[in-house]
Structure 1
Amino acid sequence: MSTEFAGYRRGSSEYRRLLIAMFAAGLATFAQLYSPQPLLPAIAEDLGVSADTAALTMSCATAGLALCTLLWASVADHCGRVRTMTVAVLGATCFGLLTPWVSHYPLMLLLRTVEGAFLGGVAGLAVAVIVSEAHPSVRAAATGLYISGTSIGGLAGRIIAGPLSEVMSWRLSMFAVSVVGALAAVLFITLIPASHDRQRTPGASIGSSGVGSALGFFHKIKGLLTNMQVLALFFAGFALMGALVSIYNYIGFKLQAPPYFLSPTLIAFLFLMYLFGTVSSGAASRLTGKNGLKPVFLTSCLLMAAGILLTLAGPLPVVVLGLAVLTTGFFAAHAIASGWVGLLSLDAKTQATALYNSFYYTGSALVGWATGLLYTAAGWSGTALACTGLLLLSALFSALALGKKAG
């Protein structure tokens, strides 16, 4: 299409459709991805497995997402971002509707992995679609609305599934969330405006030009992985997401046990703490304009670590306060890190975004499972202290590697 396209502007019908479509994409993706999280104690009890084994329901999906994000970026380079996102959201929805009904747990985990792989095509390409379709003057607002969709989607998946599990099986609860995801996917497909990706000429993906394209792709990846500033942000994404998912994976086990005895509904409502993140991500962006990226980013990481330490306390109000503090710190730090990666990688934005997402969701899959082993062996203190240590290590790496400015 014409390279003169400047992007959809505020007030146009296409811009409004783009906003709603991207919000729906975030909702469809993250509602399905996180719906099992409040159900982990019920899954463990029903299947007779340990907490870390039940957590594989989450880790397998995020592992599939992490492993396939770069693949989707490569596919999008050849087939177009919007078309690729459409295929991805359709595939994820189909597997999301099927997975809860599989009785054989290992097969269910395999299907969750495939579902996560398709979800990677949405999570990895959404911001790149916004950059290519929205006018520069409204890209930040459009990206912010998509991120709101992801946080509301993740929250909706948990809030719907948790209370439903008290009146129906955990399988029906997961299925109900997948139905919501399917409706959001239909909304995305219906409303997303026509893509303005540059069209490749026939045969561009084969022969010498195809080899050159592949070499250019891997050259960009190598450049990103050898840039210490970018690598520090990748590791930050790994640590931030790994710690957050670990805390929320196992907090239900802690709070359903003595002396708390909280119901699944009350535990699900703890995920309302994510609303603090909706506020803190925007506040962090404003603070960086006054104080710089690095100080606000490091402060946010330390705030998250402090929140995790508060969950070690006995009184329930202090534990809840800790969840609020760590969630506030997480969303602020993640908002800065994900944006900073793009600023440091102007000639490889798509690859940088994809790699950040790969590290981010690898942290969710790997740390989210490994800290379950610590929970089984050492209880909540083992999980909380491991997450705190990981965050402090990441903050130290960032403090040493990152410059004061974005690039």
Structure 2
Amino acid sequence: MSKLPADPVSPAADAMTSWAGHTARSRGFFQVLVALTAAGVATFAQLYAPQGVLPRIAESLHVRADQAALMISVATIGLAVGVLPWSWLSDRFGRTWAMKASLVLATLLGLASTAAPSLELILLLRALQGLALGGLPAAAITYLNEEVHPHSTPMAAAMYVSGTTLGGLLGRVVAVPVADAWGWRTALLCVTLIAAVGTAVFVVMVPPARGYRRGGAHHLPVLRAVAASLRRPDLLVLFLQGFLLMGGLVTIYNYMTFHLEGPPFLLAPRVVALLLFSYLAGTGSASLAGWLARRLGRLKVLCGAIALQMTGGALLLSLHTAVFIVGLVLFTAGFFAAHAIAAGWVGYRATVGRSQAASLYNLFYYAGSSCFGWACGLVYVFAGWPATVATVLAMAALAGGLAVWQLKGER
């Protein structure tokens, strides 16, 4: 770390608000990536840890698959509701303050939820935890656009998304074997302790904000900024990318465990847990998407990522385990590449009310997770896996069509 070059900015220039941002290979850029990766792990490990053990939760609490999935949905809807208030707080008190407060509060609520005696109390605490977790996605992309040089922002945004995939993977793969040995409550406790470590790393590593200006020229009152973003068709289409594509991803990961543990697969839970390593494909694809977008343009990469996601989704209809695995890897890689492009594009295009625009993207993103994650469970329960996959493919096709219609000619 001592060999990394310092950021090219003088104190005088910084004082005059001419901060250009951390450049790639600088010390500050490295600290930003490490801090946000740790924060992504802490956030998304907690958010999605129950997903890998939903059959255990359903069996233990004697509920249906769609009812067990409320463990995910209440947390994600809490996060969706929380992003706009957190964006206001981050505008008022700073991005780093908001992210630190978010992670600490969410981790404390996570610890409390593992000891809650009833399902109703667990769901309440999970909803509050999701509300707390909204601080990271509400501030992270805006923080990147303020603190990282514009030439390095696509790469930094992609690396941040990669960190979120690692968090989602870690939460799932740790929870499954621990749940098999000691129960799902102990599994969620272990994941929360890992999140506490990630929170500590973030607090120590995140560099002070130098591009943040409270009440600066690029800030609008919250409601005006929200209205301005929703009136822009280009931003609305980008928001819908998150809504539709994330809804499809959560649907597949929520219910594939039930599907694979039943006939004709009859896979053991620990074997199914190994399939969760397909998330690593998302880690790589998100970074690759940022690199490709600088060379080919964002729209081409977005559409290619959606096509890859749909190809993988179609393979999930196979009754052969090997083909299913290939499909899951392609589906996951396509999603995270598309998400990295869409999230970064919002931050780039929203030059006014940027914090609220980024929060709106996250609101749509997690609203899709909550709504489709539960509603598609009804499709799975009453119509089966093929109908569930068909629904997800239709959602992806709609997202791609909207992008081509509204963003054609944009880079």
TM over 0.5: same fold? yes
Whichever residue aligns with residue 30 of structure 1, its letter is F
1:287 aligns to 2:301 (yes or no): no
> Which of 105-114 and 392-401 deviates more?
392-401
Shift of residue 42, structure 1, vs aligned partner: 0.5
Measure, in 2, the Cα distance between the counterparts of 1:402 and 1:18: 30
Match of 2:324 in 1: 319
Measure, in 1, the Cα distance between the counterparts of 2:328 and 2:23: 38
Deviations along 1:252-306, one digit per CA (max 9) or x if unpaired, are 0001112222122211111111111122223333433444332332232122122
> Which of 71-80 and 216-225 deviates more?
216-225
1:51 to 65, 69, 74: 65
Measure, in 1, the Cα distance between the counterparts of 2:297 and 2:24: 28
- Supply the RMSD in Å over aligned alpha carbons: 2.2
Match of 2:307 in 1: 302
Q: Which runs of 5+ in 2 are unaligned?
A: 1-13
Deviations along 1:333-390, one digit per CA (max 9) or x if unpaired, are 1122112222322223212111111101111011000010111101111211111111
1:176 aligns to 2:181 (yes or no): no
SS class of match (2:210): coil
Measure, in 2, the Cα distance between the counterparts of 1:137 and 1:17: 17
Matches within 5 A, 1:139-218: 139-196=153-210, 198=212, 200=214, 216-218=221-223
SS class of match (2:409): coil
Deviations along 1:105-157, one digit per CA (max 9) or x if unpaired, are 01111110110111110122112223333344544444333222211111111
Match of 1:233 in 2: 238
Matches within 5 A, 1:5-404: 5-9=19-23, 13-136=27-150, 138-196=152-210, 198=212, 200=214, 216-404=221-409
| Cα distance change of structure 1 residues 102 and 119 upon mapping to structure 2, 3 Å threshold | same
Whichever residue aligns with residue 347 of structure 2, its letter is G
Measure, in 1, the Cα distance between the counterparts of 2:404 and 2:22: 38
Shift of residue 162, structure 1, vs aligned partner: 1.2
Measure, in 2, the Cα distance between the counterparts of 1:7 and 1:287: 22
What percent of counterpart residues are identical? 39
Contact 2:278–2:329, Cα closer than 8 Å, also in 1: yes
Contact 1:293–1:404, Cα closer than 8 Å, also in 2: no
| TM-score, structure 2 normalization | 0.90
SS class of match (2:384): helix
Whichever residue aligns with residue 91 of structure 2, its letter is D
Whichever residue aligns with residue 360 of structure 1, its letter is Y
Deviations along 1:206-233, one digit per CA (max 9) or x if unpaired, are xxx9xx9997432221121121121111
Measure, in 1, the Cα distance between the counterparts of 2:385 and 2:219: 46
Contact 2:141–2:344, Cα closer than 8 Å, also in 1: no
Contact 1:229–1:403, Cα closer than 8 Å, also in 2: no
> Which of 113-122 and 264-273 deviates more?
264-273
Whichever residue aligns with residue 70 of structure 2, its letter is L
Q: Which runs of 5+ in 1 are unaligned?
A: none
Measure, in 2, the Cα distance between the counterparts of 1:238 and 1:198: 28
| Cα distance change of structure 1 residues 316 and 175 upon mapping to structure 2, 3 Å threshold | same
> Which of 66-75 and 218-227 deviates more?
218-227
| Cα distance change of structure 1 residues 20 and 68 upon mapping to structure 2, 3 Å threshold | same
SS class of match (1:166): helix
Deviations along 1:189-220, one digit per CA (max 9) or x if unpaired, are 122233336565xxx8xxxx9xx999743222
Measure, in 1, the Cα distance between the counterparts of 2:51 and 2:223: 35
Contact 1:58–1:365, Cα closer than 8 Å, also in 2: yes
> Which of 173-182 and 135-144 deviates more?
135-144
Whichever residue aligns with residue 74 of structure 2, its letter is C
| Cα distance change of structure 1 residues 278 and 215 upon mapping to structure 2, 3 Å threshold | closer
Measure, in 2, the Cα distance between the counterparts of 1:133 and 1:27: 21
The count of corresponding residues between Structure 1 and Structure 2 is 397
| Cα distance change of structure 1 residues 190 and 55 upon mapping to structure 2, 3 Å threshold | same
